[in-house]
Amino acid sequence: MIEIEFPLTPTNLDKLLQISSFVDSKLPNIKKPICPTNFMLLDVTPENNKYKDTGGKMRITPTQRQVSIWYFCMNLVARANFEQRELVKFKNYPHPKSFRALKRLYLHRSYESLRKDYNEVLLDLCVIANKDIKKFLK
């Protein structure tokens, strides 16, 4: 079980959604390519350098707490209606965007109205989560 402040507030939920956005970007893709790449066909071994940290790419993996926050947020957002889910998805995934960048997707609305709607969505999700939070934390 993860420790989430009770009652859940919209600012805390926004932070949790940002964490889940990070975890979502680190999860493996759903579908692998049909044909293997050359790197899968040939064994590529690194050269034995005496300096280990030169030229290597550091792999970042999410922690168990971050994965459980991702799972909590996915279950919570699934309870929202379609328009609310779409707004949360466009705001937070694959990485968090500003409201001005979000306005490019919603040309007929101002970024202030998007901010207001997003805060209302967060408030609605907080009400849902606070009503039966034990169900989401299993």
What is d(CA 94, CA 116) in angstroms, rounded to the nearest whole number? 21
What is d(CA 13, CA 20) in angstroms, rounded to the nearest whole number? 10
Q: What is the pLDDT of residues 50-96, one digit of tens each?
A: 555 555 666 778 888 888 899 999 999 999 999 999 999 999 988 88
The pTM (predicted TM-score) of the whole model is: 0.75
Nearest in space to 72 (alpha carbons), one of 26, 4, 10: 4
Q: How far is CA 69 from CA 4, 102, 110, 121, in A?
A: 9, 24, 31, 18
Cα of first residue to Cα of last residue in the chain, in angstroms, is: 7
Q: What is the pLDDT of residues 10-45, one digit of tens each?
A: 999 999 999 999 998 888 777 766 655 555 555 555
